[in-house]
């Protein structure tokens, strides 16, 4: 089952929440924004963003070329995971995905930021993957594919990317192990939080899901797998964790 994406030219004049998504692939920033909104039972109109495309109309409407972009009524467009999470909390219902305990909240925000924020695990993994085509093609990419410049690719960045990504993933692994030792199956404290959802969605970059539950386009699957291998794979606890979250709090197969 695929999602029905509305073109930006139509969506910009619609009311309510419009959510630009990298269409037809399990792009984790987009998938996680959807997962958070779905869990909070917030409806939205999926809007088409073309991966690596110029996305002129989206850019003119929202000021952003990439995804996700959440536009609620006539409010300013939101693109960061934390602002989209806060919007979901404001518009949605059910238990909060943000811990009420201050220390847990700080830990959750810091941890998610390390995993998916700028210069975090996924950011560096992406730099690594963009460079996997070799320096010559990557140099060409800097001129022809907006993702290279937008996501900080350079030969120098690529050289450091693997170690930076590894360090963060190792930190997350030891954090998860200490949670299990404390008897909790959740990433933060003893309840479901946004950290569980982000990890599940982004875990595809640690290990892809089987084709029957996630029909990733072949090229993208290869690139995700090679990226993960390049930093030495991941501890099984990270995969057990995401499988458990999918089983208990999210649903499969993934649709996109």
Ligand X SMILES: N[C@@H](CCC(=O)N[C@@H](CS)C(=O)NCC(=O)O)C(=O)O
Residue 8 · residue 61 · CB < 8 Å: yes
**CB nearer ligand X, residue 9 or residue 237:** 9
Nearest CA among 3, 56, 57, 9 for reference residue 34: 3
199 binds ligand X (CB under 6 A): no
CB-CB neighbours of 219 under 10 Å? 9
52 binds ligand X (CB under 6 A): yes
Sites for ligand X among residues 101-130 (CB under 6 A): none
Question: Smallest gap, in angstroms, from Cβ of residue 20 to ligand X?
Answer: 9
Helix (H) or strand (E) holding 21: strand 17-22
Question: Side-chain half-sphere of 18: how many Cα atoms within 13 Å?
Answer: 24
What is the rounded CA–CA span in Å between residue 6 and residue 73? 16
Question: Smallest gap, in angstroms, from Cβ of residue 62 to ligand X?
Answer: 11
Sites for ligand X among residues 58-77 (CB under 6 A): 66-67
**CB nearer ligand X, residue 115 or residue 189:** 115
**Six token digits for residue 159:** 């050289």
Considering only 81, 153, 199, 256, the residue that binds ligand X (CB under 6 A) is: 81
**Six token digits for residue 248:** 């208990």
State the binding string over 135-164 for ligand X (x if CB under 6 A, else -): ------------x-----------------
Considering only 9, 24, 77, 80, the residue that binds ligand X (CB under 6 A) is: 80
Considering only 29, 72, 199, 224, the residue that binds ligand X (CB under 6 A) is: 29
Residue 16 backbone dihedrals phi, psi, to 5 degrees:
75, -155
Q: Which residues contact 213 (CB under 8 A, 6 or more apart)?
A: 252, 253, 254
233 binds ligand X (CB under 6 A): no
Interface with ligand X: number of residues (CB under 6 A): 12
Which residues of this chain interact with ligand X, rule CB under 6 A?
A: 22, 27, 29-30, 51-52, 66-67, 79-81, 147
């Amino acid at each position: 089952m695929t999602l029905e994406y509305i073109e930006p030219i139509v969506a910009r004049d619609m009311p309510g929440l419009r959510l630009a998504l990298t269409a037809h692939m399990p792009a984790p920033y987009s998938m996680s924004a959807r997962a958070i909104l779905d869990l909070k039972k917030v409806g939205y109109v999926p809007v088409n963003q073309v991966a690596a495309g110029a996305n002129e109309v989206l850019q003119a409407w929202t000021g952003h070329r990439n995804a996700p972009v959440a536009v609620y009524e006539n409010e300013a467009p939101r693109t960061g995971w934390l602002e989209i999470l806060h919007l979901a909390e404001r518009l949605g219902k059910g238990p909060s995905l943000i811990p009420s305990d201050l220390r847990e909240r700080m830990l959750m925000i810091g941890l998610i930021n390390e995993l998916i924020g700028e210069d975090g695990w996924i950011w560096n993994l992406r730099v690594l993957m963009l460079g996997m085509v070799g320096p010559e093609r990557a140099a060409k990419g800097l001129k022809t594919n907006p993702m290279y410049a937008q996501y900080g690719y350079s030969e120098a960045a690529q050289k450091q990317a693997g170690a930076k990504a590894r360090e963060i993933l190792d930190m997350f692994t030891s954090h998860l192990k200490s949670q299990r030792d404390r008897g909790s199956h959740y990433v933060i404290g003893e309840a479901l939080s946004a950290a569980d959802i982000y990890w599940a969605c982004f875990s595809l970059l640690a290990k892809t899901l089987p084709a029957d539950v996630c029909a990733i386009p072949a090229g993208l699957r290869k690139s995700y797998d090679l990226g993960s291998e390049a930093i030495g794979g991941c501890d099984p606890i990270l995969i057990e964790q995401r499988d458990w979250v999918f089983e208990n709090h999210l649903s499969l197969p993934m649709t996109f």
